[in-house]
Structures are given as structure tokens and as C-alpha cells.
Structure 1
Amino acid sequence: MMILSLSVAVAFVGALVPCSLAVPLRIRADQVGTPGDATFDYVVIGGGTAGLTIAARLSEFASVAVIEAGGYYQTDYGNASVVPLLSLTGIDVIDPSETFPHRPEIDWELVTQPQTNAGGRKVHYAQGKTLGGSSALNTMSYVRSSASAYQRWADLVGDNSYTFDNLLPYFKKSVRLTPPNLTKRNAVNATPEYDTNSFGAGSPLDVSWNNWVDPTITWLAKSLQSIGLAINPKGWSSGQLNGGSWVPSTIDPAHATRESSQTSFLDYAAGNTRLVVYPHSMASKILFKGTTATGVSVNTAGTTYTLSASKEIIVSAGVFHSPQLLMVSGVGPKATLESKSIAVVADLPGVGQNLRDPVSVNVAHFVSTTNAQGVVANPVTQPEALRQYQEDAAGPYSSAAGYISYERLTNELRSTLLDTTRAALAKLPSDSPEVQFIAGTFLWTNGSAMGSMSATICNTFSRGSVTISSSNASDAPVIDLGWFSDPADGDVLVAGIKRLRQAWASDPAQSISLGAEVIPGDSVSTDEQLLAFVKANANMIWHPSSTCSMGKQGDADAVVDSQARVFGVQRLRVVDISIFPLSIPGHPQASVYMVAEKIADIIKKGGGVQ
């Protein structure tokens, strides 16, 4: 997920757009699960990004049930989760503070432990509790990682099928690409570059580019280009993360509405398979016969029943809930399970460990250029923006993610790093990006336009963890993000701020800047002050991973093998972002869809049966 600013109050864009939403309730009556014991070939726990993808693919040849704690975000949350611009300005549930707005119908309302290296902050970590999961709440960026990152993945798990070239068919399989509509974008200096060979005749996930370009972002893109981050002619889907590019998004270009795993894979399955969905239902425990997973205990509105799996159970509950569900079911660190009086099915110490959570900070100025939020907040210009959206699927409301740059730190900035940080970065592949820069814009609390460029670490060295507070899956997991537990993360972000200040000092940025820097501000200048700012103001970009890490049997953090099978048990897999063995550069949504496609294909071909 990509967020423009979390360290300041972001002005809301006014009333939600009164557009006509596509009716999401497309599954047939016989596809809605009735509470009561039943048996399927496969039971998938979690109807999120990965869960609906693998369920849809498995349902092409088998009977499949999906257990999802939420319902339809279109009805539960409305336009805020559908209209692209509102993904930046209208989804209030992503507020990371402890005073976040409560939306239990679409958010798990998780709050972390105090972050001891980040001012003792407790962080509200929004996670989608809805069909579509966090693909219903994110900012829809479709960015694959670098070839070198997938090579690292392959090396860590001992399986060359995870190299970029071998994964590309699975990336292609999901995606129905629509080329940019240059007429609607109407911005000669914002023509997206991409490699057509990185896409194919896939389906059902729509990927496209915004049908409108924010004027402020075009100037910020120029500023990044002017300091050496040239346009990448292949974009963000070819395995190369360097330079800059306009971001493709999971947006249905015909209607300019959010594309999630629900609007793509669930809708596909509803029309072509006999997939059964159990909405508003909680998976409370995986059931075992010895060490063989046999079923799932489910609760729907107080009714408890068992969904049995004749072949496999697939956990797709997300980075925080997948390890929790394993632990309350008896799979995890023995000492933790015994402390909660849970019978140990498999002593697997890596469950809940290795949490990686990239963090980000902003550098911002008031600017003279207009932005999308300003257009739709202005009663003079809002009616035309609304007309463009409703009639042409264009204009500011159709726009979400904008422009991203990646680079390795310059030699000048690298020389300012701690020796330990330089040593850590030196272990990464020579083409691995180290910092991500996102160009963004928002309204300040007084309604003034603000230009923002954020720096995000591409390789998270700090590690956190997830554990359980009880044997009850309804009790929230205990989350420690581990922010800045490794000094290298703060060190890199300090260098990132310095690099962004170089961009703000460029001619393109200065031509729109109105005065001095607002965030962090000119008074924050020394390395010590910058580090203090980073620790006090850095926030997540909602890309946590690796709490059920893929790896080789016997590795300390390994929970699943390269076919997503849980070590120590049979007929149980985990398929979601929690199995990523590392925090990959880029934005993980594309890779989550990919890994679900890959594991579904392994199962379809009869491989990996335990």
C-alpha cells in the first residue's frame, strides 16, 4: 500500500462521491455456505488477496470452500473503498494512531505492542476483514519486485522455480492489462513506459494506469528525474527496479473503480465454478488427526460447525492471523503453545518470527500547483470532476497511485552511513534498490496544497514477531513490529531524507515550492536530529511479511517449504504474504497474486502432496 502522509493530518475531500457502485453480490444462492458440517476437497481460510485467488483456481477442478470473517466492502464501506482517489483520502480506517476510527465490519482493528525504538508508539495496523482482504483497502499499486530479490528468494528456499523468469508466467496468468489511455491522461510529460513482454493474455485481474494525472506529481517526478533518477523504459513489471516510472494500478479502467481479488477472482469463480463462500464466519481452529490436518472449526453468528477437507486445508489469513491460527491449532513454538495450554501438534519455532515491516518518512513543502484533492474539495471545480468520473471514468476521482522511483544510495550518501549499515547493504545484490521514493500530494489542514516525497527502505533489516495472548483465535494476536531494532533501517532513512532534500532543491521542485520545508522542517538538520525525526514520525506502508517464512527444513525461521507445505504436518499449506522469506523491494500485491497462482498450479498438477 502507498500512503502520501501519515505524520500530518490529511484534509478530507468532502462528501463521498455519489456514484453508482457495481452490485458486488454476484455469487449464486448455492454458493453461499450454510452453517453446518460439510466436506470439500479444499478448505481455504481467508478470502483475501491470496485466499480468493487460490480458491478460484482450485475451484476450476475441485470442490472448494472459503471461510471469510467479513463480507462485501462495497456494501460495508461504500465509495471509500471503490473510488480510486478515495483510497488516498477517504479510507479513514488506515489511521495508524491509537485513536483510529473503528470500522470492525472491514478492519481487524489490530494494535501493536509499544515500539521501543520508535517513541514507544502503539500502532493501529489496518488489515482488511472483508472479501478481498487488504486488496480492498490498499492504494492499488501493481509493482513487481526485482529479479535479484526473486533470486534471493530462490536461494533462501533452495528452489530455482522462484527466479523471476520462472515466476513470470504466474505474474502474467492473473493480469488483464489495459494500455494507458493517453487521451484521458492528457499529460504529455506523464506517458507510462512499460515492457509489453512482461504481460500476456491473462485474466481476471485488471491492471491499468490512472485516467488522470495529478499536476503536482508531474513536477515532483521531474524533480526526481533531474537529480539522476531517469525514467525506467521497462516500468515496474520487468524485474528491474531502478529509476522512475508511472505506477500501474489494479483499477478497472472501463469504470475507474477498484479491482480487488473479490471483483476479479471471486467474480470469475462465481460465474465459472461451484466455489462456496462462508462470509461473516470465523475459523477458530484447524483440526488434526495426529499430524494430518482434517478440517476447520468454524463459527458463524454463534453456530459452530466443522468444514472437513478431503485433500488439503490452505491458510490464507494474512501476515498476523496466519501464524496466530497455526499456534492456536497446535503448530508453533512448543514453549508458547504449552504456556497457553495448547496441545502441541508440531513444534515449529519459526511460526510468528521474522516479521519484516518496511517504514517510510516524508519530506514536504507547500506548493503552488493544484492537486486532485484540491480540485474535488473546491465547490467550483468539484461538479465537473464528478461529471468526468461518472460519465467518462476520468478526472481526479479516477486517480490513485502516481509516480515511484528506486535507487541505490549515491556514493556521497553512502559515505555518511554507519560502517555496519554499509556492511549490511554490501551483502545485497549489486542491482538491488535500497530506497524507494514516492511522489505524492495532499491538502494541509488549512486547505493549502502540499507536495510530498517519501523515502521508504527497500530492504528491512529489523525484525518483529507475532505471538498469541490465549488459545482463542478471537483474541487479537500480540504484534511487535520491531521497528528500528536494527540501526541500519534508521540510518538508510536518514540518507533518504537527505536525497529528497536534493530533489526539493532542484529547479523543477523549486519552481512550485512555496517557501521553506514544512516536514521535517529546516530546524531538523543534523544526523542526530534527522534520526530522532525518523523514529518519531516513520510509519508503515502496509507491506508486512514473513511471519510463516518459506525456507528449507531445519532453518530457524522456516515454517513452510517451497511448495507452501507446513513442516511437521500433512495436508496443510499457508499461502499469503506471510510465507515470503524476505521483505521484497517494490509493492507486494503483485507478488501475492503470483504466489497464489503458483501454488494453485503445483496442486493442480498433483505435485506437493504430503
Structure 2
Amino acid sequence: MTLAIVLIILDRRPDGGWPELETIEYDVVIVGGGTAGSVVASRLSADPQLSVCVVEGGPSDVGDERVLALRNWINLLETEFDYDYPTVPQPRGNSHIRHSRARVLGGCSSHNTMISFRPPDEDLDDWVAAGAAGWSAAELRPYWERLEISITRVADKDRNPLAIDFVAACRTALGVPVIDDFNAAPFADGAGFLPVGYDPETGHRSSASVAYLHPHLARPNLTIMTETWAYHLDPERGVTVRTAGGDRLIRARQEYVLCAGAVDTPRLLLLSGIGPADDLKRLGLPVRLDLPGVGENLLDHPESLILWEASRPLPPMSVMDADAGLFVRRDPGATRPDLMFHLYQIPFTVNTARLGYDVPEHGFGMTPNVPRPLSAGRLTLADSDPSTKPLLDFRYFTDPAGHDERTIVDGLRLAREVAATEPFASWIRREIAPGPSLRTDQELSAYGRAAHHTVYHPAGTCRMGAPGDPGAVVGPDLRLHGFGNVRVADASIFPTMPTVNPMVLVLMIGERAAGLIRESTR
């Protein structure tokens, strides 16, 4: 392991200054200590001859019950643990969505519900078809098998009667099977309790940081810089970071690995002059490389809500208040589900209240979700100031065929079928939103799109693709086009959205990235 501290004069910082910055050198510099970054750091620092630095913009999660207690996840949103990105106006969707992005070690695995699905094989077939050679389900299976997080089905002690009755009603109303293990192949439609990364005894999350970093914090060749925000990358000189004590430069002798997520990885590249040249010139940013795909292909899982007032107080037993789910295959000939629901044991009325609906004292809902949306948007910069939040334009419900809109409408109708079926029906006093008077496709579409939210799954903004693909930002080896010493390893590389919650797939990306880097560093 070798570490060096030198002094370097930068060409020019984004603010126009010519500072002299302290520069620290490591073999590998990882920008983002989140879901994938934790994996990469853990695997690479297992080699004592390799010095590894993680640059993380938020604080540590070590010993912080607010972060570690899984059921507290909703109380982390729009706090000091959240970058809290707004959405630009959405003509066909909800313009009021705040996209939570975790500002804490472990990233969104320290911030989410820890629902942990292995992606269906067909999702990865889609990736290969999109030019991601080497990313088939068979080729990724070893990374699934070596994951360190602890994935378990919701424990019996955490299964409350509302969720149990929901699963039973789904079976009766829709004829779907009860799924004992959603991660058993092949992935099937059905209802059941979800696989979750947590410790049933303590209720703590088994996040990427807990599983991959906490056991190895004493490694002398692993440096984790928290409260350290990266805002400029020069692959020849280093990453410029901002800390409470001022700016510094972190240089990698071998590789930079960008793991800042589908918002902050493209944001960093754009601020560094890597992206669509016309956009960069318009903002007055010097163009280092014209890479048109940076920020394009912005994807998400939109979901709407059918909200009920409960007939009685809800039972307190729960892992994270979204313990049971339902997958539906609307086309009997399809090989995987195309409609998904979470059962939320919390009202989640942020959007319905804005539309004028009542907020019940005791309420719960089902959330029809678009598993593989066809609408895609774009991330851009508002200006050249690194502190200005980027512009997120998801272009929700704009796919020409209307697939995403139709999925929400079908989902609201199917949810009503479940709600009318015992034993779930006895939990419901009344439907609050959209309300029983809204019946037509047009009425349900207008409501569903106005009330829709996000499952906080932005992806795709540094899309992986085949050599020669003009819209691709990285190749199947995760190398950033135009730079041999920079890789991207996070959800921004997704060519298409997976059917399921993407956290496990991001962990597998981290595992694969670490393997690719180990091969090259040898």
C-alpha cells in the first residue's frame, strides 16, 4: 500500500480560481460510498497492497440508530440525510415529487426499505440485447451468490394481520398464487411477503455499508472520507472535493470509480465538462469531451395510490410498513409480471392531500407501479454553479403507446377487486382516493397521474451500451468512454429498468466492477 501527499496547482476550478490544493494520492478513488461504492471499496481493500479511498458526501451511519433502524426509513426523507432533488414540471405527471437521494454512508441502502429482489432473468436479457455483452443472468449469477447483505423473508413475528389478509385476498380476487420466496427462479406473478435485507432480531437494516464496510473499517489501506463532496473530475489530475476545512484534490494512480448514483454521477461528469457539448457551452462550461449520452435515458418506477380509510386501528407489527406485495402478469403469454403493488401500511397522503382528499387517522393503500416503464427523460444542469441542484425531467407518462398510463389505470381497477374481497375487505371503511365516483379510464388516468409518486429509483443516465453506440456513456467493462482510468458503477448504467426494486442489481454491479478492477490492477 502506498499513499502520497503532494501539492498541485489546478488549471482552473469551476469558480474561476487558481488555487493551490493539497493533493492526496491513492491507488483507487471511489466517488460515492453508497450501495455499489461500499461493495467496490470492501472488495478492493481486501488486497492489502491496494490503497483505496472512498469519498462520501454525507456522514457515517456507524452507530446511528436513525439510519440503522429499518422501520425509521420514512423519517429520513427530506432531512440532513437527504439531497432532496425536486422535479421539473411534468405535463402528464406529478410536478411536486421530491426525489430523495441518500446523503449518508451506504447511500440509498441506508435510506430505503431494503426490499431485496434478484432481478428476473429476462430483465438481464434486455440488457444484453441493448448492447451490454457479458451481463446475462447466467453471467451475473455468481455475483448474486456472493452478496454479503442478509436477505430474508419478513419474519413471522413481523407479519401483521392486515398484510396477511391482503395476501389471502389477492389470491382469491385475482387467482394469483401465494409466493413463499420471490427470489426463487423463475420470477413469477403472485402475492406474498417480500424479501428484505434486515436482521429480524434487531430490526436493523443489512445495508451495503453495514455488510461490506463496517467489518473492515480498521483496514489500514481503506480510507473513508465522509462529509466530503466531489464536484469536479479531471481524470489526469484528480477529483476536487469540498470539505468543512476547504477544498482538496484526491488523485487516483490507477482508477477512479464513480458510484455517486443516477443523479450525482452524471451531474459530476457534466460539471467536469464531460457530456453534450452544446449544453455545456450554453452554460459556459469548458468541453472536455462531447459525450451526448450523459444525463439522457433518465428512468424511474412511477407508482400511483389507492387510499382507504381503515375500519379500525392498524396493527403495529411490521418490518418497514410495506412488507407485502403483489405482482401481476396482465398478458398470460408474458414471461414476467408487468404490474406491481406495494401494500403500504401507512397512508402516504402527501399527494392525495394536495389534491384535496381527506387524510384519515387510520389509513393504508395499494400502489400500482409500472415495473418496466417506457417513458424516459433527461437530467441537465441549471447553471455552472456546482452547488445548484440539477434539473430532473422524468417525462412521466409520455411514451407514445400509452403503456405507462394504461398500467396505472389497470392497477387501480385491480386494486379495487382486491379491496372488495375478504378477508381484506373488512379492514376498509371507505375508499378515499381516487374515490368510488371515478370509474372511467379517463377519470382514473387523470387521477392516477396527478397522484402518482416515485419509488425513488432513478436510473439510466450514464447508459451502458455496445461499442459504437452513440448514446452509450460506458461500455460493458464499465469504462467511461474516452477515459481509460474512469469507470461508472451505479444505477446510472442501467440500459433499461428492471422489473423489481433495483438495489440488489446495484450491489451486483458493485461486485462485478470490483472484479473488473482487480483484473486490470493485477
TM-score range, shorter chain: 0.7 to 0.9
C-alpha distance in structure 2 between counterparts of 1:304 and 1:179, whole Å: 42
Segment drifting more, 311-320 vs 270-279: 270-279
* 2:297 alignment partner AA: N
C-alpha distance in structure 2 between counterparts of 1:348 and 1:46, whole Å: 22
2:136 is matched with which residue: 163, 166, 181? 163
1:537-585, CA deviations, whole angstroms, 9 ceiling, x for partnerless residues? 0010111110001111332431101111111222111110111111111
1:276 is matched with which residue: 209, 223, 226? 223
Equivalent in the alignment of 1:109: 84
Is 1:407 matched with 2:328?
yes
Change in CA separation of 1:575 and 1:176 when aligned onto 2, cut-off 3 Å: closer
C-alpha distance in structure 2 between counterparts of 1:91 and 1:509, whole Å: 30
Is 1:39 matched with 2:25?
yes
Equivalent in the alignment of 1:466: 379
C-alpha distance in structure 1 between counterparts of 2:319 and 2:336, whole Å: 32
Equivalent in the alignment of 1:381: none
| Deviation for aligned residue 1:267 | 0.8
Is 1:437 matched with 2:341?
yes
Segment drifting more, 593-602 vs 498-507: 498-507
Is 1:313 matched with 2:287?
no
Which runs of 5 or more residues in structure 1 are unaligned? 1-29, 94-102, 186-210, 376-395, 412-428
CA contact (8 A) 1:357 1:545 kept: yes
| Deviation for aligned residue 1:450 | 2.4
Is 1:551 matched with 2:465?
yes
- Residues paired across the two proteins, number: 489
* 1:604 alignment partner AA: R
1:388-438, CA deviations, whole angstroms, 9 ceiling, x for partnerless residues? xxxxxxxx3655541122122157xxxxxxxxxxxxxxxxx9313210022
Q: Describe the SS at the equivalent of 2:434.
A: coil
Change in CA separation of 1:364 and 1:74 when aligned onto 2, cut-off 3 Å: farther
Segment drifting more, 306-315 vs 263-272: 263-272
CA contact (8 A) 1:73 1:106 kept: no
2:362 is matched with which residue: 449, 463, 468? 449
Is 1:493 matched with 2:408?
yes
C-alpha distance in structure 2 between counterparts of 1:72 and 1:328, whole Å: 26
Equivalent in the alignment of 2:283: 340
Equivalent in the alignment of 1:297: 240
C-alpha distance in structure 2 between counterparts of 1:539 and 1:550, whole Å: 27
Structure in which a larger fraction of residues adopt strand: 2
Equivalent in the alignment of 1:579: 493
Is 1:151 matched with 2:128?
no
C-alpha distance in structure 2 between counterparts of 1:267 and 1:73, whole Å: 9
Change in CA separation of 1:180 and 1:527 when aligned onto 2, cut-off 3 Å: closer
C-alpha distance in structure 2 between counterparts of 1:162 and 1:284, whole Å: 30
| Deviation for aligned residue 1:150 | 0.9
2:178 is matched with which residue: 231, 237, 241? 231
C-alpha distance in structure 1 between counterparts of 2:507 and 2:336, whole Å: 22
Change in CA separation of 1:587 and 1:239 when aligned onto 2, cut-off 3 Å: farther
Report the TM-score when normalising by structure 2: 0.88
Equivalent in the alignment of 2:109: 135
1:366-401, CA deviations, whole angstroms, 9 ceiling, x for partnerless residues? 3346534xx4xxxxxxxxxxxxxxxxxxxx365554
2:508 is matched with which residue: 585, 594, 605? 594
1:512 is matched with which residue: 405, 427, 430? 427
C-alpha distance in structure 2 between counterparts of 1:176 and 1:107, whole Å: 23
| Deviation for aligned residue 1:507 | 2.8
Q: Describe the SS at the equivalent of 2:345.
A: strand
| Deviation for aligned residue 1:165 | 2.2
1:91 is matched with which residue: 57, 76, 81? 76
Q: Describe the SS at the equivalent of 1:563.
A: coil
Is 1:355 matched with 2:298?
yes
C-alpha distance in structure 1 between counterparts of 2:194 and 2:218, whole Å: 30
Is 1:329 matched with 2:329?
no
Change in CA separation of 1:398 and 1:269 when aligned onto 2, cut-off 3 Å: same
Is 1:219 matched with 2:165?
yes
Q: Describe the SS at the equivalent of 1:86.
A: helix
Change in CA separation of 1:324 and 1:370 when aligned onto 2, cut-off 3 Å: same
CA contact (8 A) 2:116 2:151 kept: no
* 2:76 alignment partner AA: I
CA contact (8 A) 1:112 1:123 kept: yes
1:166-187, CA deviations, whole angstroms, 9 ceiling, x for partnerless residues? 21210121235476686xx2xx
CA contact (8 A) 1:221 1:439 kept: no
| Deviation for aligned residue 1:261 | 1.9
CA contact (8 A) 1:85 1:398 kept: yes
* 2:247 alignment partner AA: T
Aligned-residue sequence identity (percent) comes to 27
Change in CA separation of 1:273 and 1:220 when aligned onto 2, cut-off 3 Å: farther
| Deviation for aligned residue 1:92 | 4.5
1:117-154, CA deviations, whole angstroms, 9 ceiling, x for partnerless residues? 125x2422111111111111111111122110011112
CA contact (8 A) 2:55 2:224 kept: yes
Report the TM-score when normalising by structure 1: 0.76
1:502 is matched with which residue: 411, 417, 424? 417
C-alpha distance in structure 1 between counterparts of 2:330 and 2:193, whole Å: 21
C-alpha distance in structure 2 between counterparts of 1:588 and 1:288, whole Å: 29
CA contact (8 A) 1:178 1:253 kept: no
2:196 is matched with which residue: 240, 244, 249? 249
1:179-224, CA deviations, whole angstroms, 9 ceiling, x for partnerless residues? 6686xx2xxxxxxxxxxxxxxxxxxxxxxxxx41121111111111
Change in CA separation of 1:237 and 1:595 when aligned onto 2, cut-off 3 Å: farther
Change in CA separation of 1:437 and 1:327 when aligned onto 2, cut-off 3 Å: same
| Deviation for aligned residue 1:66 | 0.8
| Deviation for aligned residue 1:602 | 1.5
C-alpha distance in structure 2 between counterparts of 1:70 and 1:237, whole Å: 35
| Deviation for aligned residue 1:283 | 1.1
Which runs of 5 or more residues in structure 2 are unaligned? 4-20, 350-357
| Deviation for aligned residue 1:594 | 0.7
CA contact (8 A) 2:132 2:475 kept: no
1:538 is matched with which residue: 448, 452, 455? 452
Q: What root-mean-square deviation, in Å, do the aligned CA atoms of Structure 1 and Structure 2 show? A: 2.4
* 1:82 alignment partner AA: L
| Deviation for aligned residue 1:41 | 0.7
C-alpha distance in structure 2 between counterparts of 1:588 and 1:534, whole Å: 23
C-alpha distance in structure 2 between counterparts of 1:479 and 1:524, whole Å: 31
* 1:432 alignment partner AA: R
Q: Describe the SS at the equivalent of 2:501.
A: coil
| Deviation for aligned residue 1:43 | 0.5
CA contact (8 A) 1:406 1:437 kept: yes
Change in CA separation of 1:92 and 1:318 when aligned onto 2, cut-off 3 Å: closer
| Deviation for aligned residue 1:534 | 1.1
CA contact (8 A) 1:460 1:489 kept: yes
CA contact (8 A) 1:164 1:239 kept: no
